[in-house]
Amino acid sequence: MSIVYDWLIAPFAEFGFMQRALGGAILLSISACPVGVFLMLRRMSLSGDAMAHAILPGAAVGFLFYGLELIPMTLGGLAAGVVVALGAGSVSRLTIQKEDASMAAFYLISLALGVLIVSLRGSNVDLMHVLFGTVLALNDEALTLIGTITVVTLVALAIFWRALVAECLDPLFLRSVSRLGPPVHFIFLGLVVLNLVGGFQALGTLLAVGLMMLPAAAARFWTTRVEPMCLLAVAIGIFSCLGGLLLSYHASLASGPSIILLAGVVYILSTLIGPRGILATRIRPSLHRTA
């Protein structure tokens, strides 16, 4: 029991920064993982990655004027994410270019511009903070922001759940029977930006999308129904955050990358042994046919 306590409980029982890190990571998992499921079902996973980088210029402008202050960087990132989402959507609707290509273009511009802005004032340490986050340095203000984003996300998902599911499965049908199609699409993009801004506080712009997409992608190999998929994604996200924080504490590793790498391990295992993974759908049927 002493070993279990020392390895699993003591880091969170004895250190306030570990408690805040775990609390923020759990809130992010509850909020971002269901959004990641809908991104995946809409085949917009790479768009989520692009939007994660899109918040960088706005956050960098906030950093340029106010340093590592929460509110300016958050508002800047939120504004930049909305501008990029609307800009990419407008380009895809007004030109021959599809949304994924326009999103990729805006993502590359945003990433380069954000890094350039941070480098004008900050050091390499500041740049690493912006790009990779500092989950172990979450304060009460950051936890309040993440908690607010979680509440807003869950309320929005509860209100628009059926419309979101319908748009994932058959968007043409939703548009034929309801006018909710376009509004729900932009509301959903707003939730994506909100959760990426929340994830930015803990994991930085480069890793925020990892907690959103990897648990969702792993859950896809275990179930086909949307509700269980969202719940399983949240569970995988929480497990990854808990295990990643413990791994970073005991092995003196970077906390954000440890969380995302553990989520990546769960994803790889799911692709192999999940009911819809390689072993169940490819290898076993081949063995039965051979026999």
Nearest to 178 by CA among 190, 168, 163, 165: 163
Nearest to 43 by CA among 96, 131, 103, 111: 103
pLDDT per residue, tens digit, the chain (291 aa), is: 678 777 888 888 888 889 999 999 999 999 999 999 998 888 777 677 777 777 888 888 887 787 777 788 888 888 888 887 777 767 766 776 666 677 777 777 887 888 888 777 766 666 677 777 778 888 888 899 899 999 999 999 999 898 888 877 766 666 666 666 677 878 888 888 889 888 887 887 778 888 999 999 999 999 989 999 999 999 999 999 999 999 999 998 888 889 999 999 999 999 999 888 888 777 666 555 555
Structural domain range at position 269: 2-290
CA-CA distance, 59 to 81, in Å (whole number)? 10
CA-CA distance, 2 to 172, in Å (whole number)? 58
HSE (CB half, 13 Å, CA atoms) of 37?
30
Q: Which residues are CB-neighbours of 132 under 8 A, at least 6 positions away?
A: 203, 204, 206, 207, 254, 256, 257
CATH number of the domain residue 210 falls in: 1.10.3470.10
CA-CA distance, 48 to 60, in Å (whole number)? 19
DSSP-derived secondary structure for 117-173: HHHHH--HHHHHHHHH--GGG--HHHHHHHHHHHHHHHHHHHHHHHHHHHHHH-HHH
CA-CA distance, 248 to 37, in Å (whole number)? 27
pLDDT at 238: 95
| Rg of the chain, C-alpha, whole Å | 20
Give me the number of domains the chain comprises: 1
CA-CA distance, 56 to 217, in Å (whole number)? 24
pLDDT at 222: 94
Nearest to 104 by CA among 187, 185, 47: 47
HSE (CB half, 13 Å, CA atoms) of 252?
0
In our burial notation (b when 16+ CB lie closer than 10 A, e otherwise), range 187-226 reads: bbbbbbbbbbbbbbbbbbbbbbbbbbbbbbbbbbbbbeeb
What pTM, to 2 d.p., does this model score? 0.86
